[in-house]
Amino acid sequence: MTADDLVSLRRDLHRKPEPAWREFYTTARIVEELEARLGDDITLHVGPDALATDRRLAVPDEPELTHAYQRALETDADEATLERLEGGYTGAVAVLERGEGPTVGLRVDIDGLPRAESDNTEHVPAAEGFRSEHDGAMHACGHDAHATIGVGVLERIANSDDFSGTLKVFFQPAEEVIGGAKSMAESDHIEDVDSLLAMHIGLDHPTGEIVAGIDGFLAVRHLEAEFTGEPAHAGGHPEQGRNAVQALATAVQNLYAIPRHNDGATRVNAGLVEGGSASNVIPESARTVVEVRGETTELMEYMTEKSRRVLRSAAEMHDCEVEIEIGAEAPSATSDQELVSIVEDVAGGVAGVDSVLERDELGGSEDATYLMQAVQENGGKACYVGVGTDHPGGHHTATFDVDEASIQHGVDTLAGAIERIGRGR
């Protein structure tokens, strides 16, 4: 793919951002591009064939899925492909077999975010006409570039004389809700992967900078808690109520007050709360989505256990019931030095790359860790690579954008590293 091809594909995806499990057009477009470029050279596992279908997390409601699916049907996307994705089974695994050698995985995520994109004329996508066509949705974290890099790497390796082995590219849905990686990590496709590369663009690193190995992924879990009490007339019989909002408030106060842990960083956030129905009714129901994180999976489990205790006791204090469900989760992970060294070495020779950092910390969460953990548990190696890009707005903001030159840096670095791994170094 030429640099223009990469830009063109990225812009096409940028126009049609699709949040978690609704990547209908996106998946079909990737499949179409791969089939056009590589034809029979690759094997494509699409939608349900790419996933352990009962392991999807944080899947949206039926109406939201249907709305997005209908919208995709109105595009020029291949209808046969779309039909395979119906119901929110999105994403794909592309497999390229090139003889003897290790199986190398590359994971790129493909979903957009449920937020509106800036229409300011200083925002390049607005100025150059590829701003989001989907109201209230946006590629505000660069996954359009990620998907493009995945296609670019596949094509490069398909045409390379320098790779022997198998390359699998995981076009993963639903990263933003930490909901997609688990179902790919528990599919068959990951089992024979010896080395896995994952990647992210940006992360406050400028164009021309590569981070060979990113660590510091916080393990994360979402707890959805639903309190149920008993309504009562707030004027007439307050004593007959069992107040779910009081339970919620008590829980929130004590969740944030879970003791800090000496083994490392922890996080907790009651990021969403709602409760009650009217000002004159003692609230009979309330809910919150609580996110806990830990520097290690153990620390995240500690926060989970403490949060459950707080939620249960808060309910009991106000004579309410509480149901707690796990919404989504991802473990912690570490990049293996062996792969970090390869990427570091390769990146040093990539045109346009003028700065290579060996390691950096993410300080957030990413469900690529599910795939990394699966590979490492099977005795393989994993590494998470950062590809710098000048981005005007921060990640997840309305003015986020990538410097398209960095797409090429990503393809070159990753393809180079994959070749090196395929040569047995």
Residue pair 291/269 in contact by the 8 Å Cβ criterion: yes
Alpha-carbon distances, residue 366 vs 325, 339, 361 (angstroms): 20, 19, 12
Tell me the two tokens of residue 24: 């209908």
Q: By CB under 8 A, tell whether 322 contacts a second copy.
A: no
Half-sphere exposure of residue 188: CA atoms within 13 angstroms, side-chain side: 4
Residue pair 75/16 in contact by the 8 Å Cβ criterion: yes
Q: By CB under 8 A, tell whether 239 contacts a second copy.
A: yes
Q: By CB under 8 A, tell whether 323 contacts a second copy.
A: no
User: Mind giving me the DSSP string for 357-425?
Assistant: EEEEE--S--THHHHHHHHHHTT-EEEEEEE----SSPTTSTT----THHHHHHHHHHHHHHHHHHTT-
- Residue 395 annotated as binding site: no
Considering only 166, 207, 243, 335, the residue that binds a second copy (CB under 8 A) is 243
Residue pair 376/316 in contact by the 8 Å Cβ criterion: no
Distance, CA of 251 to CA of 248 (rounded, Å)? 5
- Residue 222 annotated as binding site: no
Site size toward a second copy (CB under 8 A) is 66
Q: By CB under 8 A, tell whether 238 contacts a second copy.
A: yes
Q: CB atoms < 10 A from the CB of 139, how many?
A: 30
Looking at the Cβ atoms of 234 and 357, the one nearer to a second copy is 234
Q: By CB under 8 A, tell whether 406 contacts a second copy.
A: no
Q: By CB under 8 A, tell whether 271 contacts a second copy.
A: yes
Distance, CA of 328 to CA of 177 (rounded, Å)? 7
Cα maximum dimension of the chain: 82
Looking at the Cβ atoms of 11 and 308, the one nearer to a second copy is 308
Q: By CB under 8 A, tell whether 423 contacts a second copy.
A: no
Considering only 17, 208, 213, 241, the residue that binds a second copy (CB under 8 A) is 241
Considering only 74, 259, 351, 425, the residue that binds a second copy (CB under 8 A) is 259
To a second copy, the closest distance from the beta carbon of 169 in angstroms equals 27
Q: By CB under 8 A, tell whether 289 contacts a second copy.
A: yes
Binding-site residue positions for Mn(2+): 141, 143, 176, 200, 396
Contacting residues toward a second copy, per CB under 8 A = 218, 220, 222, 233-239, 241, 243, 245-246, 248-250, 252-254, 256-257, 259-263, 265-283, 286, 289-291, 293, 302, 309-310, 312-314, 316-319, 327, 363-365, 396
